[in-house]
Structure 1
Amino acid sequence: MGKYRLDYFSKYYFYEEDKFLQEVEDGEYILNQIKKSNRFDYKGYSYKYTKFGNISKGDTQKDVEVEIKEDDIDVIINGENAHLDLIYKFEIKNLEDHIRITTRISEKSDDISCLLYIDYNQGNDFIKELENVKKAQQENMNKI
């Protein structure tokens, strides 16, 4: 069991234009802005077009606490239970001053892409514990 502090935790929501206009507050205004400049920061979120022509809404938090419990398929992010879908996606990249982990997080109505940035001092231990979470998730899937 370990507690870690992420430097950054980013969640990305993806929309087709029609869905974006229906579901996002001020969607038409935001859409007009990203058509002008391809990226627009608004009310704490970052919006832009993706390479596939969809719209992404980015939500980035700094200094996020993650707690990992032994033999658990979930983690605790800022005091709330969260399910990282490590079976589906678990990519690790070493950057200049951080380790970046790409995965998905399940929320009530959707699976959201997310990036976790952690410093090298705690990064290797964090990855080992995430690998244990992934193993627990795999074992849970195999239970019949």
Structure 2
Amino acid sequence: MSYDDQNIFAKILRGEIPSIKVYEDDRVLAFMDIMPQADGHTLVIPKASAVTLLDLDPAEAAYTIQIVQKIARAIEKAFDAKGIVLMQLSGAAAGQTVPHVHFHLIPSSIHQMRTHAAQMGDQVAITQHAEKIKAALAEID
């Protein structure tokens, strides 16, 4: 499948659509999921144009997973999480809803999560969760 540069994550990366950012560098962006499956649900995306994990350059995949780990540590600290679900849905058949490779970090038990991409979250609460994660990131850097 070829990359569609009009997907919502590509638009977020270009600043055409707002997001509640947690972390950004020249290769990766982490931001809050606006349809969270649990409080603190964060998405980590590479800036490289890739639809699925299998399309992502191995060096970009390796770098992205390092940032996934960094954000997971901050989420764990910010929410005193006892577990974090890491999800990467690769392809529509696997449940991928945005055609840009991305990683879900969800501080929760797999048995307590809300349904994927089912309901818009409270944007004020999501913003507050982002601030907690950013504060925790500052402490672990």
Is the pair's TM-score, using the shorter chain for normalization, greater than 0.5? no
Higher relative contact order, chain-length normalized (CA < 8 Å, sep 6+): 2
If the length of structure 2 is used for normalisation, what is the TM-score?
Answer: 0.26
Which structure's residues are more often strand, by fraction?
1
If the length of structure 1 is used for normalisation, what is the TM-score?
Answer: 0.26
